[in-house]
Structure 1
């Protein structure tokens, strides 16, 4: 039996990004149970505290734990991301279906509108 290295699938770089994305989504879903401190309470005695055993990433200028802020921020970022993707996909599919069904002048007008929008950088 020969020792083989990792499979080709395991070496693909998107597995690292996908794993990090899954970890972020899990943190967003379970934020109420994972966050060690509440983010809505200030502790001005511990403002700008360095990382230690209690606050793993330290605290901000209001004494709020940074790890808790990151975990709760993942929830907001995931909601904004999924909401944006859902809205854009809905609008895109609707415009594509209208353009494909009617064709002709409607298709040309929608294509020129999309061309103008694509001309803007960023």
Structure 2
């Protein structure tokens, strides 16, 4: 059961990250469209929905990421490789926190300006 849960949490984590990226792309794409003035309220509503969906996705990524820390497999590849793996995971998460933060800031300024 624990292995199945670990796999499910990992899948949900990655899926939510992809959905967040898709939501940010949808905001970008909608923002670039030339729409008649009478449709601008509808487009703004869509952009807001995608922005809030993106926030939910980030929360899911954080929650499942926290869950993954409890199922982390130590010494999966040996001691030396494990040290490198941990360093790379830390670097990856620093980059991803930055990407999520900048993406949400961009989304906020794009949707609510």
- The TM-score with structure 2 as length reference comes to 0.35
> Which structure has the higher relative contact order (CA within 8 Å, separation 6+)?
2
* Greater Rg over alpha carbons, structure: 1
- The TM-score with structure 1 as length reference comes to 0.33
